[in-house]
Structure 1
Amino acid sequence: MPTATATAPGQRRHAAYENWRPPVIGVSLLVPVGADCITVVDLQGMLMLPAGGVYDGQTPQEAGHRVLADPSGRLRLLRRVAVDSVQMRRRKVITHVMAAAPMTRGAVTGLVYRDPRATVRVMPTLQFLDQWPTGRTRLLVSLQALATGDTPCIEGGVVQAQVPSALGT
């Protein structure tokens, strides 16, 4: 017969909530501008890389084209450069970072972000790194992967050389 264990009054037992809901899968775009700038989105004062969701049956590449609309057709997504996976309390959040071919400042002004409240800007990479501490590791790993041709994975803040097959879509 199983034995019940009592907890002290006022103490709560915490059960692990890990992955009881399906993961949230998103895509983030790394669009270089020249040798020292990147394309960022300014959403009412919050700076970030252009990002969006990956829907069922959609590849990260297809989702990336939905994040930034380009009427001129100059935005070319090259490849996935990194995968960032974070275990939240109840579900895993997986972000595929897609790199685009370098663009000019003039071409970036024609890009339209999926959220009409945001503006697309060009910003020096080092300045953006200083203002975006939460995504610093993701951006640095993605820039290095773009230069080397690798596709690393960041799992819970730890950089791994290869993307685990469970995360690669």
Structure 2
Amino acid sequence: MPTATDIAPAPRRHASYQNWRPPVTGVSLLVPVGADCIAIADLRGMLMLPVGGMCDGQTPEEAGYRVLTDPTGGLRLLRRVAVDSVQMRRRKVITHVIAAAPMTRDAVTNLVYRDPRATVRVMPTLQLLDHWPTGRARLLLSLQALATGETACIEDEAVHARVPSARSAPGRGRRR
């Protein structure tokens, strides 16, 4: 009779974790200030582009106006310049980058970020690129797309020509 040590263990299979939970969808705002600066959110020393979540049925532009509010009405969102999609272990994270019309330094002081702990500041673009290595590729591609009039699609750190629809949630009805 075989013993437990004689039986070879079955090979372990790892279930694919892709898309077993709904994706997290958010929006990030690219607000140019003058020719060489960007409006950023400073959350207690953590510098980032202003970001926020998207609710079901909401367009990226609608979500963008919830991220930064302007009592004077000077914030004008122009268009989506990039879509960044990253497959994490258990869910996909999708970020729509929306470009705003260029603003002046004085106009940026009127902007209010969705998180009251953060302040909206103006920072030179090159300084932000040096300080923010994790978001460097997304920022550079977004700036390039803004300048060329295109929309960049970044999927798992690779740039693609295909851009998903703003209203369709990735994972539902994808074409392959």
Q: Report the equivalent of 1:21.
A: 21
List structure 1 runs of 4+ shifted beyond 4 angstroms: none
Distance 2:105 2:46 in 1: 21
Q: Which residue of 1 aligns with 2:115?
A: 115
Using the aligned pairs only, state the percent identity.
79
- The equivalences for 1:115-134 within 5 A come to 115-134=115-134
* SS of corresponding position for 1:84: strand
Cα contact 1:151–1:162 (8 A) shared by 2: no
Check the 8 A contact 1:82/1:96 in 2, yes or no: yes
1:161 deviation in Å? 2.4
Shift of 1:36: 0.2
CA RMSD of aligned residues (A): 1.4
Deviation at 1:158, TM superposition (A): 0.4
Greater shift after overlay, 70-79 or 12-21?
12-21
Q: What amino acid maps onto 2:103 in structure 1?
A: M
Counterpart residue number, 1:96: 96
2:140: which partner in 1?
A: 140
In the other structure, the counterpart of 1:77 is 77
Q: Any idea what SS the aligned residue of 1:21 has?
A: coil
Q: Deviations over 1:96-140 (max 9, x none)?
A: 000000000000001000000001000000000011111111100
Match of 2:68 in 1: 68
Q: Which has the larger radius of gyration?
A: 2
Equivalent in the alignment of 1:51: 51
**Structure 2 counterpart of 1:149, one-letter code:** G
Task: State the TM-score, normalized to the length of structure 1.
Answer: 0.91
> Match of 1:97, SS?
strand
SS in 1 for 2:16: coil
Q: CA deviation at 1:6?
A: 1.5
Q: Is the CA contact 1:152–1:161 (under 8 Å) kept in the aligned structure 2?
A: yes
Equivalent in the alignment of 1:6: 10
Gaps of 5+ in 2: 1-7, 168-176
Following the alignment from structure 2 to structure 1, what is the Cα–Cα distance between the partners of residues 164 and 64? Answer: 21
Task: Say how many residue pairs are matched.
Answer: 160
Q: How far apart, CA to CA, are the structure 1 residues paired with 2:93 and 2:118?
A: 23
CA distance in 1, matches of 2:38, 2:80: 16
Q: 3-state DSSP class of the match of 2:147? A: helix
* Distance of 2:25 and 2:37 partners within structure 1: 27
For structure 1, list consecutive stretches of 5 or more residues without a partner in the other structure: none
Using the size of structure 2 for normalisation, the TM-score is 0.87
